[in-house]
């Protein structure tokens, strides 16, 4: 009989991301009105373009991206909410009979 080695975690399990990095991405996501995963993807793409690999560097990048969004002064969440509102004649439009 073959003895199995006990691992502290399953080999297919991904590492838990840094809490501070997740928080920074969460603030960015809230400001942009997108999901956390979409914000993390934006940060990861930009980090790879800039050659950043460490979690602390990515966290600083996310905070910098948040500062850029805040400096632009555009509230994307309010913009998306306004776009979802009914306009004029579309208020009474029915999609079902």
Q: What is the mean pLDDT of residues 16-43?
A: 91
What are φ and ψ of residue 46, in 5° steps?
-65, -35
* Alpha carbon separation from 45 to 13, 26, 42, 48, 82 (Å, rounded): 22, 16, 5, 5, 28
Q: What is the DSSP letter of 93?
A: -
CB count in 10 Å sphere of residue 95: 4
Higher-scoring residue by pLDDT: 80, 24: 24
pLDDT of residue 81: 74
* Alpha carbon separation from 30 to 24, 38, 81 (Å, rounded): 10, 11, 13
Whether this model's pTM surpasses 0.75: no
Q: What is the pLDDT of residues 41-96, one digit of tens each?
A: 999 999 999 999 999 999 999 999 999 999 998 777 777 777 777 566 566 666 66
Domain boundaries, the chain: 19-73
The token pair that represents 28 in the structure block: 């960015």
The token pair that represents 22 in the structure block: 């997740």
């Amino acid at each position: 009989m073959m003895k199995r080695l006990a691992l502290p975690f399953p080999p297919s399990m991904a590492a838990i991301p840094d809490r501070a990095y997740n928080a920074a991405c969460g603030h960015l996501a809230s400001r942009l009105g997108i999901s956390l995963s979409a914000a993390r993807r934006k940060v990861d793409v930009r980090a790879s373009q800039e050659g950043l690999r460490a979690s602390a560097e990515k966290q600083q990048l996310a905070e910098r991206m948040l500062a850029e969004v805040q400096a632009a002064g555009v509230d994307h969440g309010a913009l998306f909410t306004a776009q979802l509102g009914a306009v004029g004649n579309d208020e009474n439009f029915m999609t079902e009979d």
